[in-house]
Structure 1
Amino acid sequence: MPAGAYAPPAPPLAGRIGWLRLLAAFRRNALAALPEACLHEPVVTLRLPFGGAMVLACTPEAVRQILVSGTDAFARLPAGRRVLGPIAGRGLVLAEGETWRRQRRVLAPAFTPRTVPLMAGHIARAAQASAARLDATLGQPVDLHAEMQRLSLDIAATAMFSLEADTFGPRMRAMVSGYLGGLGRPTIADFLLPPGLPTPLSPRRALFRRRWTALVRGIVAARRAEGAGTEAPRDLFDLLRAAHGDGPDSLLVDEIGTMIVAGHETTASTLFWACTLLARSPGIQDALAREAAELDLGEAGAAAALPRLRLARAVVQETLRLYPPAHVIARRAARGGEICGTAIPAGATVMIPTWVLHRNPRWWDRPELFSPARFLDGPEPDRHVYLPFGAGPQVCIGAQLALAEATLVLARLARDHVLAIDGDRPVLPVATVTLRPDHSPLFRLARRRPA
């Protein structure tokens, strides 16, 4: 192992796995259900007890076949609608076919590269408030998982609405965190039961849906009361409202709710895991601070600083490799066919195990190591091996904004503070909708001295 290189702990892959172990793994941590065969075989098939199959597609060729050339043959899972429907409703993340294409065209203007400078100021303002909160904890134990969740929600609120999150932030944080840590955790019933049948969680998820929609509608009403920008868009709300035009208000609410949750949870997860990696990699942490030391990361200078934060961006990219927010990408075979020569029956659940693809030594050099340099010095990774935002036509529409947000926040954090973790207990990822830690370790921060 190279001097100073850190290999973060990870749950081991499974050996031979049957349906009983699969069921147990879904209850504890779905990462433990991913078989070791995914490292060697292009397609791994797991037979389910009540008929049907779960197919794991494990090579870039298989990924291309599912996400690029076979988008009509592989539809979104009914399980995804059960799990994400209470938050996303009819939003883009769950839309299909022509409905998806229409909504994607409508939303695209709000997520072009020209939007990044507008968002950078909102990100910098929220990062400044977070830095002030962290300054008050210097030398004391601090829960950075909770702070990153608060910060990412503040960014989502200010970037979406130009509103401070103090009034609705605590309620939204509690709802999102509670849902994703409980009702939003996929269960075996979500996958096995036919789409028309309710699962044991369906009534509680429906209740959450009503509460969540009411909250987002209230925030939208508050933003509308503030009025529109006089000359140019102030935030994503202005952009989305202009894009939707006279479209149904309920769809706008669904899209906004989806963007808030997606931006909040995935960014909070990425920032937390980046903090754990940097706390165990002081040399990279110091280099990150040196890169950011002379840059203006405030509201006025954040957009101009972004292209110069090469190491910070590489740290974010490497964190997304080791801890991809979507640890699997799931589809349903709309009709019978084959993947890489393996027959796939109609109705089969087809999963791309991003977690395994990102850690497979066939595609990555020393994949167990935290090594941001692989995104600085080496060739660009194959787009069908590196999938933090998916691939193909349905790639995440907000990917560039998410990268910009995490890059700016991480640069500010490393420039101002030295991070260390209390204790040696390993922090292991647990698969929910995203990858969450099995516990929230306590960090200690010190003020970084100028070089």
Structure 2
Amino acid sequence: MSLLRSAPGDSGRTGSDDTGPGAELPTASAGENLRLTLAYFLPQYLKGVFRLRPRLGSLVARADAGRRGAETLRRLRRRHGRGPVVVRGTSGPTLLVLDPEDVRQVLAGPVDVYAVDTWEKVSGFASVQPDGLVASHGRQRAVRRAFNDAVLDAGCPVHRLADHFLRVAGEEAAALLGPRSVAGLGPDALRERFERVGRRCFLGEAAADDVEFSRLLAELLAEANWLGARRWRAAATRRARRRMMQRQARYLAEADPRSLAGLFTGAPRGPETAPECQVTHWFMALSAVHSASVQALTLLATHPRQYRRAVAEIEAADRAHGARTVAGYMQMPYVRACVQEAARLWPPVPSLMRRTTAETRWRGAVAPGGVNVLVPAGFHARDGERIDYAHRFAPEKWLDGTAEADWAVSPFSRGEAQCSGTELGLQLATGFVAELLRGGELAAAGIRLSPERPLPYAFDTARLRIGIRPTRPVEGT
């Protein structure tokens, strides 16, 4: 770990200074590295980095690995101070960021210095989509980011196609209502409907029933979990990717004007943009939106006060503007906050990885370029030593600005690397959740969440059933 050296002075530092020049970054011991690997890195790898492994994910949740990982990180911070702490990561020396000010330094820093194309992402996406934005750097990343931002309307409160997208999300959610929802909806049923939302909104109506496209993508993401280690699977993976891209090409060739594919021609592009290769990551991100939606529904089903407020907001918005409308969506900030809060409690990407391309300064110490940086986003979002709402369902924190102002709370990342589709994803999730809340009274089975107890670090969604009991009798029940 001798890569680190002391700073001769403190001019030009981007981090705060409470140690003074000449300080050195603390280094984890061999025992601490072993505990970190077993309690933090291994459970995240087992449950799946790119796609959830259902059985192992259930095992990790039941073993309460999230709590043990958080306790390990807290012990490191108590022993070593604000850090960052130099640990052994999966691909070499890694700066483990345990202080919220340092989180902001990383996420607010330029991606030219805190690069996103880490070994893990490049290795995983090599089998799925090697020309995707998240595996890019430099000029390639700049042109691909410009394309993504333009098509996804990054930073805009609502997407230009939001009228249609909200109708799609509402229609797909409404299709779940009826005897099936009274009996209880499992995670697979909700996932399948969300995949239809994605195919219709991203590729157009012609792709609505193309479950084979989604199956091939799931196969590729499952292989990506192995980070390229299963080389004997390379030929089969290439064939699966080729078939997926051939299916996608049909929809891009005759682009539906009401889909994201229909916006490609008006978006900026260059020789390295590879627009057809950006779509894969949008579908991957949609799985995170699906997870946040399911978690938000589970929280609302088990938290009566928040449930009543969300339903009242939806009813008021529908009376004023009609269901599935942009104006109605804009009058549902609380429902949107419920989705954001679910993503805070169980972030879709619990660890944000970067690699440095130049020297970085951390108070009085200097780290050279070429080291990894790990921001344990899930840990910071549930840091009970720092935030008083860490383990409870508190959507109001997104309404009063508390969560938004806290850079350590970053379920969709922040700064230059924030997901271009954050706003779009929240629109789809809010529309989907709102439609199911219109369907009747929620109930959750197979899981124990309560406003009277701290919320767990994870729960086993394989056992989850979300019931929706309509206010009127449903034929066939």
**Above 0.5 in TM-score?**
yes
Residue in structure 1 matched with residue 5 of structure 2 by the alignment: none
Could you tell me how far apart the structure 2 residues matched to 1:90 and 1:48 are? 28
Q: Which amino acid aligns with 1:271?
A: S
Could you tell me how far apart the structure 2 residues matched to 1:111 and 1:216 are? 20
Could you tell me how far apart the structure 1 residues matched to 2:163 and 2:260 are? 12
Residue in structure 2 matched with residue 90 of structure 1 by the alignment: 131
CA RMSD in angstroms comes to 3.3
Change (3 A) 1:89 1:413: same
Could you tell me how far apart the structure 2 residues matched to 1:448 and 1:205 are? 53
| Count, aligned residues | 409
Deviation readout 1:279-326 (Å, 9 max, x if unpaired)? 211221222112112444999852111110021011112112112211
* Aligned residues of 2:301 and 2:442 also touching (Cα < 8 A): yes
Partner residue of 1:221 out of 250, 260, 282: 250
Change (3 A) 1:299 1:200: farther
In structure 2, stretches of 5+ residues that fail to align are 1-30, 46-65, 450-454
1:213 to partner: Cα distance: 4.0
Residue in structure 2 matched with residue 368 of structure 1 by the alignment: 391
Could you tell me how far apart the structure 2 residues matched to 1:241 and 1:49 are? 42
1:129 to partner: Cα distance: 3.0
Q: Which amino acid aligns with 1:420?
A: A
Q: Which amino acid aligns with 2:33?
A: G
Change (3 A) 1:151 1:49: closer
Q: Does 1:36 align with 2:74?
A: yes
* Aligned residues of 1:131 and 1:413 also touching (Cα < 8 A): yes
Q: Which amino acid aligns with 1:77?
A: T
Q: Does 1:162 align with 2:200?
A: no
Could you tell me how far apart the structure 2 residues matched to 1:50 and 1:320 are? 25
Q: Which amino acid aligns with 1:200?
A: A
Residue in structure 2 matched with residue 5 of structure 1 by the alignment: none
Residue in structure 1 matched with residue 171 of structure 2 by the alignment: 128
Q: Does 1:414 align with 2:437?
A: yes
Deviates more, 1:271-280 or 1:288-297: 288-297
Q: Does 1:19 align with 2:34?
A: yes
Change (3 A) 1:319 1:438: closer
Change (3 A) 1:217 1:340: farther
State the SS of the aligned residue for 1:381: helix
Change (3 A) 1:359 1:114: closer
Residue in structure 1 matched with residue 258 of structure 2 by the alignment: 234
* Aligned residues of 1:336 and 1:343 also touching (Cα < 8 A): yes
Deviation readout 1:392-436 (Å, 9 max, x if unpaired)? 222211111111111111111112132222245679667xxxxx9
Deviates more, 1:64-73 or 1:90-99: 64-73
State the SS of the aligned residue for 2:354: strand
Query: How do 1:195-214 residues align onto structure 2 when only pairs under 5 Å count?
Result: 199-204=228-233, 207-214=236-243
Could you tell me how far apart the structure 2 residues matched to 1:332 and 1:59 are? 18
Query: How do 1:130-279 residues align onto structure 2 when only pairs under 5 Å count?
Result: 130-143=173-186, 145-169=187-211, 171-180=212-221, 182-185=222-225, 199-204=228-233, 207-225=236-254, 233-243=257-267, 247=271, 251-262=274-285, 264-279=286-301
Could you tell me how far apart the structure 2 residues matched to 1:324 and 1:273 are? 10
Partner residue of 1:63 out of 100, 103, 114: 103
Change (3 A) 1:62 1:50: closer
Could you tell me how far apart the structure 2 residues matched to 1:37 and 1:342 are? 22
Partner residue of 1:107 out of 132, 148, 158: 148
* Aligned residues of 1:17 and 1:33 also touching (Cα < 8 A): no
1:201 to partner: Cα distance: 2.4
Could you tell me how far apart the structure 2 residues matched to 1:49 and 1:310 are? 39
State the SS of the aligned residue for 1:293: helix
Query: How do 1:343-354 residues align onto structure 2 when only pairs under 5 Å count?
Result: 343-354=366-377
Change (3 A) 1:200 1:394: closer
Q: Which amino acid aligns with 1:129?
A: E
Could you tell me how far apart the structure 2 residues matched to 1:151 and 1:111 are? 21
Could you tell me how far apart the structure 1 residues matched to 2:324 and 2:185 are? 29
1:172 to partner: Cα distance: 3.3
1:347 to partner: Cα distance: 3.3
Q: Does 1:291 align with 2:333?
A: no
Change (3 A) 1:44 1:408: same
Q: Which amino acid aligns with 1:405?
A: L
In structure 1, stretches of 5+ residues that fail to align are 1-15, 191-198, 431-435
Q: Does 1:313 align with 2:336?
A: yes
Could you tell me how far apart the structure 2 residues matched to 1:335 and 1:17 are? 27
State the SS of the aligned residue for 2:407: coil
Deviates more, 1:399-408 or 1:119-128: 119-128
Q: Which amino acid aligns with 1:305?
A: G
Deviation readout 1:344-378 (Å, 9 max, x if unpaired)? 35433210111011112455222111111222245
